[in-house]
Amino acid sequence: MGKYIGIRLAHALVVLAIVVVLVFVIARLIPGDAIMAAMAGSVDLHDPSVVAKVRHQYGLDQPIFVQFAVWLGRFVRGDWGTSIGTGERVLDMFARRLPVTLELFLGATVWSIAVGIPAGIIGALKRNSTLDMAVTAGAMVGVSVPAFWEAIVLIYLFAVLLPVFPPSGYVPLSDGWLANLRAMVLPTFVLGTHSGGLLARYVRSSLLEVLGQDFIRTARAKGFSETAVIVKHALKPSMIPVVTVIGLSWGGLLAGAFFVEVIFAIPGLGRMSVEAIFQKDYPVMQATLIVVSLNVLLVNVLVDILYGYLDPRVRVRG
Amino acid sequence: MPDQPWAVWDKNAKPKRGGIFRVAAEQYIGKMNPNHWPVLDWISMGYMHERLMLTDGNYNPTVPWLAETLSWDGPQQVVMKLREGVTFHDGSAFDAKSVKFQIDWIRDPASKTWDAGWLAQLDTVEVVDEHTLRWKFKTPWAGFSGVIANVPGYVMSAKALQEDADKYDTQPQGTGPFILEEASPGNYLKFKRNPNWWFAKASNNPDMPYFDGIQVTIIPDPAVRLANLRAGKIDVLLLDKSQYAVAKADPDLKVYRFAMNHLAALRFNNTKGVFQDIRLRQAVSHAIDRKGLIAGTQFGLARLASCIYPEDHWCHNPNLKPVTYDPDLSKKLLAEAGYGSGLTVRGYYINTAMGQTIAEAVKGMLTKVGIDWQVDLMAPAALATRMQKMDYDLAQGGWIFIYDPDLMATGLYHPEGGFNFGRSKNDAAIALIEAGRKEVDPEKRRAIYWQLEEVLYNAYEDAWLWWEEIATAYRSNVEGWDHEGFLKYRDVWFWAHPLWFRDGKA
């Protein structure tokens, strides 16, 4: 198992190195001038000498390979630079925003698992029934509905018409868990909707496949109760594709967080990324993309490890 | 102070102290030293800082604020008397020494200020006595009061700058009605009431400012900002234009509409390509149905523009009328210029939803007269590069916040302008811009800008579309907004007449 994990981590490191170079080059291939873009939002900042001064300050007047070497050297030493858009230290921005986004991710994952897995199980066990059709339709809606539309509708329903939750904003846990929970219910639900729907579909089809296997028939023939057959024998093998979906969804959650954090005014990494991309804020853009890539890579390594746990044949081949 | 025309308070009003005023902002403020770039929220900046001079109802920087008087001693010297009894939030005194220190600090390259160039015409600033300064200029400098009514004139504590100037970016020490209490970058700003605000005493309104504090929450999405207002989570909102009708119909909101000093326009590349020919610039200008654009894309919230300065700006020439919508004339002009069978031009517009709508509407109008405008919708960064490289025939133009007339005139039409890049070279206009910078007599200066507008207008230098209007909605328990007073005196009225809650709480 140790060797298997080592190989997976080595693969991840190679991918990360490629990502680092690509991120730096692609960021600079996007048309436009970062300084002019950021200045366009400022008032009465029209002096070309000011532009040149700011460009020099951020090292953007250097050749691209020099910029890369300087940036990488500083990045690995923990100096992630200063945001062109806000003037803050990028590392400080991450330190403040990462926990917020992680909370959002965790909440969304909890929603998607809590809704998606039971819905999928019900759909599989009550195959072709009215309940199954309702669950399937619900899952399809969850997968198809655009996050920004769902968010706006829920805000008007549950914050304006029926003021149960706040329309937007983030309340840190340190300000009280109840206030934090109330603020996070709508955004986490919206973010978890897509992966919840997807999960329900995968659990249903995977469980149906497993329930048709010989060993399930054997278990039933041995006289195990239906609950024992499902919980002890069917669920674990049917979880392999489910783990894949959860792993992939984790990567996809950040794409969702781009919308959800902007709409719900949550000061997390997603909103920061959107603002950085629109402003061509290189330091923030680069750091964000690398952290996101690292996150996806680590989750995939974790998924690979879980495969090994769920199906020993995988780690033997690995 | 009470002798000022704007210093009129409603005697029947019963202001109450208390409550936290909750505001939504689209972006976090950035740095809180006004001279350190970037600053993205100037309203919040104004809660903490005050300026030496303010502009009047016609955007003329003639209203003394922290500078009590300002007298010209020839075209190259100004004697400034400062207000007494003003203290910074850190307890230090506002006096001639503190202003001199601040101005010298702004001009010091080590301070890395973005607006040092604005003070390029300043030679020295000398302390005459505790509350008097003498400003000496290298050349006659008509725009001086406009500059100190702008960024370099935001007064900052010299003590704080001396102790740690970098710290000022996050811990500002101004003289304003509110003191920064807490900042959560990207999330919110909290301000508390300044109990020692000089203006409360000077205006005989000791309870000013009436709110205990202000909370500015960052909400990027306009629909969610409106939802917050309607849910009672914020007390005021600068409306998106599309929200105007909805907000106006809401009985719980008080909605006010007012003109802004912003110009929307299309810019021509006058020195490269087909638009060197004035007939083609005229053809474009007459092909645009400005009234239709305002109704269809601005939800009616804009005024027809005739030239660069808005109709309520002190430099606007009232003799100029908006260019007429005349598609037949456009076709005739195109034919005369040799493009009777059609003209293809390239350009760009910003890729926001509103930008796309405007670009598509203009494109449709131009198509009707035989002009194919191949317009690219682009992000601000890409758009700025195209502008810099002069890679366009016809593109998005305009200006936001038109205060001192020279700033926009130079920016767009002078070779030194940061938004010209060689695309406009009208010698008569350039000569007038340079004359306007030196003329310190207000009436003579006004005449120069009237003439400048006329020159630009006759040359169809750009296609001016509209002057901006915006709308603000307050929750019904917010009191104190006198819309007529604001329209008459604008900047100074806004800062001199704080609001309050009807019941003293949010």
Least confident of A123-137, A203-217, A286-300, B224-238: A286-300
pLDDT digits (tens, 9 = 90+) for B137-183: 999 999 999 999 999 999 999 999 999 999 999 999 999 999 999 99
Token pair 């960052």: residue: B218
- Is the pLDDT score of A46 beyond 60? no
Contact call for B380 and A271, based on CB within 8 A: no
pLDDT for residue A58: 75
| Amino acid letter, residue B242 | S
- Is the pLDDT score of B379 beyond 50? yes
Among B40, B219, B388, the residue with its CB nearest the CB of A265 is B219
Contact call for B114 and A32, based on CB within 8 A: no
A-chain residues near B220 (CB < 8 A): 262, 265, 271, 275
A-chain residues near B152 (CB < 8 A): none
Q: Cα separation of B291 and B314, whole Å?
A: 24
- Is the pLDDT score of A42 beyond 80? no
- Is the pLDDT score of B267 beyond 90? yes
Contact call for A36 and B419, based on CB within 8 A: no
Contact call for A280 and B42, based on CB within 8 A: no
Least confident of B79-93, B335-349, B408-422, B452-466: B408-422
pLDDT for residue A41: 45
- Is the pLDDT score of B67 beyond 70? yes
Contact call for A159 and B40, based on CB within 8 A: no
Task: Tell me the nearest-neighbour CA distance from B405 into chain A, angstroms.
Answer: 12
Q: Which two tokens stand for residue A214?
A: 């010989």
Strand, helix or coil at B26?
A: coil
Contact call for B37 and A96, based on CB within 8 A: no
Confidence of residue B403 (pLDDT cuts 50, 70, 90): confident
Residue of higher predicted confidence among A33 and B375: B375
Mutation choice for B interface testing from A29, A33, A44 by most B CBs within 10 A: A44
pLDDT for residue A197: 93
Contact pairs from chain A to chain B, CB under 8 Å: 159
Contact call for A32 and B186, based on CB within 8 A: no
Describe chain A by its helix, strand, coil percentages, rounded to 5.
80, 0, 20
Strand, helix or coil at A287?
A: helix
Q: What is the mean pLDDT of chain B?
A: 94
Among B42, B117, B220, the residue with its CB nearest the CB of A47 is B117
Distances (CA, A) of B19 to A121, B254, B476: 52, 19, 15
Strand, helix or coil at B137?
A: strand
Contact call for B39 and A43, based on CB within 8 A: yes
Token pair 């070279």: residue: B425
**Closest to A221 in 3D by CA, of A229, A230, A209, A232:** A229
B322: preceding bond cis by omega (within 30 degrees): no
Query: Taking a C-beta distance cutoff of 8 angstroms, is the pair B473, B254 a contact?
Result: yes
Contact call for A265 and B407, based on CB within 8 A: no
Task: Tell me the nearest-neighbour CA distance from B135 into chain A, angstroms.
Answer: 23
**Closest to B375 in 3D by CA, of B405, B344, B404, B329:** B344
| Amino acid letter, residue B78 | V
Contact call for B27 and A41, based on CB within 8 A: yes
Confidence of residue B237 (pLDDT cuts 50, 70, 90): very high
The pLDDT of B307-324, averaged and rounded, is 97
pLDDT for residue A48: 63
pLDDT for residue B297: 96
Among B38, B230, B382, the residue with its CB nearest the CB of A86 is B38
Contact call for B37 and A46, based on CB within 8 A: no
pLDDT for residue A12: 84
Mutation choice for A interface testing from B221, B403, B433 by most A CBs within 10 A: B221
B-chain residues near A271 (CB < 8 A): 186, 220
Q: What is the mean pLDDT of chain A?
A: 85
The pLDDT of A122-127, averaged and rounded, is 92
Contact call for A30 and B418, based on CB within 8 A: no
Q: What percent of chain B has pLDDT over 90?
A: 85
Q: Cα separation of B79 and A97, whole Å?
A: 49
Give the ranges where B49-168 is alpha helix by DSSP (H). 96-107, 144-148, 158-164
Distances (CA, A) of A224 to A124, A206, A233, B471, B484: 19, 21, 10, 70, 83
Contact call for B38 and A159, based on CB within 8 A: no
B-chain residues near A153 (CB < 8 A): none
Contact call for B400 and A86, based on CB within 8 A: no
Q: Cα separation of B153 and B137, whole Å?
A: 16
Contact call for B418 and A48, based on CB within 8 A: yes
Query: Taking a C-beta distance cutoff of 8 angstroms, is the pair A216, A233 a contact?
Result: yes
pLDDT for residue A315: 59
Contact call for B39 and A42, based on CB within 8 A: yes
Among B187, B219, B419, the residue with its CB nearest the CB of A46 is B419
Least confident of A77-91, B34-48, B199-213: A77-91
Residue of higher predicted confidence among B46 and B11: B46
pLDDT for residue A44: 41
B-chain residues near A37 (CB < 8 A): 379-381, 384
pLDDT for residue A56: 79
pLDDT for residue A45: 46
pLDDT for residue A316: 54
Distances (CA, A) of A102 to A184, A246, A253, A300, B416: 12, 15, 10, 17, 49
Winning range, highest mean pLDDT, from A102-106, A143-147, B312-316, B414-418: B312-316
Strand, helix or coil at B131?
A: coil
Strand, helix or coil at B349?
A: strand
Q: Cα separation of B331 and A236, whole Å?
A: 75
Tell me the residue length of chain A. 318
Query: Taking a C-beta distance cutoff of 8 angstroms, is the pair A74, A219 a contact?
Result: no
Strand, helix or coil at B174?
A: coil
A-chain residues near B233 (CB < 8 A): 166-169
DSSP character string of B220-258 = --HHHHHHHHHTTS-SEEE--GGGHHHHHT-TTEEEEEE
A-chain residues near B28 (CB < 8 A): 86
Which helix (DSSP H) or strand (DSSP E) does residue B98 occupy?
Answer: helix B96-107
CA atoms within 13 A on the CB side of A243: 19
Residue of higher predicted confidence among A28 and B133: B133
**Closest to B305 in 3D by CA, of B315, B290, B293:** B290
Strand, helix or coil at B136?
A: strand
Task: Tell me the nearest-neighbour CA distance from A171 into chain B, angstroms.
Answer: 10
Task: Tell me the nearest-neighbour CA distance from B287 into chain A, angstroms.
Answer: 29
Task: Tell me the nearest-neighbour CA distance from A4 into chain B, angstroms.
Answer: 42
Contact call for B38 and A168, based on CB within 8 A: no
DSSP 8-state symbol, B276: G
Confidence of residue A40 (pLDDT cuts 50, 70, 90): low
Residue of higher predicted confidence among B465 and A258: B465
Residue in chain A nearest B352 by alpha carbon: A278
Contact call for A32 and B382, based on CB within 8 A: yes
- Is the pLDDT score of B2 beyond 70? no
Confidence of residue A139 (pLDDT cuts 50, 70, 90): very high
Largest Cα–Cα distance in chain A? 84
- Whole-model pTM: value is 0.86
The total of other beta-carbon atoms located within 10 Å of residue A18's CB is: 11
Residue of higher predicted confidence among B105 and B404: B105
Contact call for B380 and A37, based on CB within 8 A: yes
pLDDT for residue A49: 67
Strand, helix or coil at B497?
A: coil
Q: Which two tokens stand for residue B98?
A: 């503190």
- Is the pLDDT score of A246 beyond 90? no
Contact call for B227 and A38, based on CB within 8 A: no
Among A47, A54, A262, the residue with its CB nearest the CB of B418 is A47
Contact call for B388 and A163, based on CB within 8 A: no
The pLDDT of B447-453, averaged and rounded, is 98
A-chain residues near B30 (CB < 8 A): 85-87
A-chain residues near B224 (CB < 8 A): 152, 155, 167-168, 263-265
A-chain residues near B117 (CB < 8 A): 47, 49-50
pLDDT for residue B188: 94
Contact call for B384 and A38, based on CB within 8 A: no
pLDDT for residue A64: 83
Contact call for B220 and A32, based on CB within 8 A: no
Q: Which two tokens stand for residue A119?
A: 């819905």
Query: Taking a C-beta distance cutoff of 8 angstroms, is the pair B325, B288 a contact?
Result: yes
The pLDDT of A137-159, averaged and rounded, is 93
Backbone phi and psi for residue B202, each to the nearest 5 degrees, phi listed first: -60, -30
Give the ranges where B353-440 is alpha helix by DSSP (H). 353-369, 380-388, 405-413, 427-438
Which helix (DSSP H) or strand (DSSP E) does residue A10 occupy?
Answer: helix A2-29
Q: Cα separation of B258 and B256, whole Å?
A: 7
pLDDT for residue A250: 77
Q: Cα separation of B352 and A284, whole Å?
A: 22
Mutation choice for B interface testing from A168, A260, A279, A282 by most B CBs within 10 A: A168
**Closest to A116 in 3D by CA, of A236, A288, A242:** A242
Token pair 């670009």: residue: B359
B-chain residues near A103 (CB < 8 A): none
B-chain residues near A44 (CB < 8 A): 150-151, 401, 403, 407
Neighbouring residues of A128: CB distance < 8 A, sequence distance ≥ 6: none
Confidence of residue B385 (pLDDT cuts 50, 70, 90): confident
- Is the pLDDT score of A318 beyond 70? no
Confidence of residue A43 (pLDDT cuts 50, 70, 90): very low
Contact call for B383 and A45, based on CB within 8 A: no
Residue in chain B nearest A151 by alpha carbon: B224
Among B37, B227, B401, the residue with its CB nearest the CB of A159 is B227
Strand, helix or coil at B468?
A: strand
